[in-house]
Structure 1
Amino acid sequence: MSTAKRPVNLDLSSIQFPLPALVSISHRVSGILLFIGLIFLMWAFQVSLSSPAGFDTVREAMAHGFFAKLVLWGLLSALGFHLVAGVRHLVMDMGHGETLEGGQRGSQLTIIISALLVIMAGVWVW
């Protein structure tokens, strides 16, 4: 049995996470948001297919509803980030960017590309 001193109660809010860790955690969060957002999208799809009036309701909400546009923009933003961060993970799984410097650069590139995709999604939706 080891008698090494280990932290008993680790306070995660006091730890400064490096950028690659934050990008990895955000990748998981965006996946959860996409999963939850699919409920909204499936509901809107079901309503739009239920009748011509339902289709008009969904179309009107997407054309003029602030909340619907905000949700759509959020889901597209989460999808863009999740896609870029997923590609980053796949590239790292192939052995590229596994060093500390490579992980940092890959995370920076992920944030830059994702920010561009978020802006493009916002322009497209609004």
Structure 2
Amino acid sequence: MHRISGFLMFALLPVVLYLLEQSIRSELSFAYFQGIASHWFVKLVILALVWAYMQHFCAGVRHLIMDTHVGLDKDSARKSAATVLAISLTVTALVALKLFGVF
């Protein structure tokens, strides 16, 4: 998962930077991209990017902790991997609720 999320972020970085550059050119271009971002498919792509970032970030923290020789045994490694997945999915679900206008 760590490699997949890293690849997703790397592959989509040029698209995200291009959209950012275009959106800050003027108020009209910002309104245009705001309209695009309101489409359900674009929201799903944004959500995939959020998940990729959160998965990569949490797994990176896990690896940093493991570098201190904490949790290297098989049971601890499985528990920490499950924790990383649970945290990244929980944060992504919260962002999804916000993104789709639940709160």
Identify whether the pair has TM-score above 0.5, normalized to the shorter chain.
Answer: yes
1:79 pairs with 32, 42, 53, which one?
53
1:69 pairs with 43, 60, 68, which one?
43
1:60 pairs with 35, 38, 58, which one?
35
TM (norm. structure 2) is 0.88
> 1:69·1:125 contact (CA, 8 Å) conserved in 2?
yes
Q: Secondary structure at the match of 1:97?
A: coil
Letter in 2 for 1:102: S
Structure of greater Rg: 1
Distance 1:50 1:60 in 2: 16
Q: Verify: 1:96 aligned to 2:70, yes or no.
A: yes
CA RMSD across the alignment = 1.2
- Which residue number corresponds to residue 41 of structure 1? 16
TM (norm. structure 1) is 0.73
- CA drift of 1:74 comes to 0.8
Identity over aligned pairs, percent: 28
Letter in 1 for 2:10: F
Aligned residues: 100
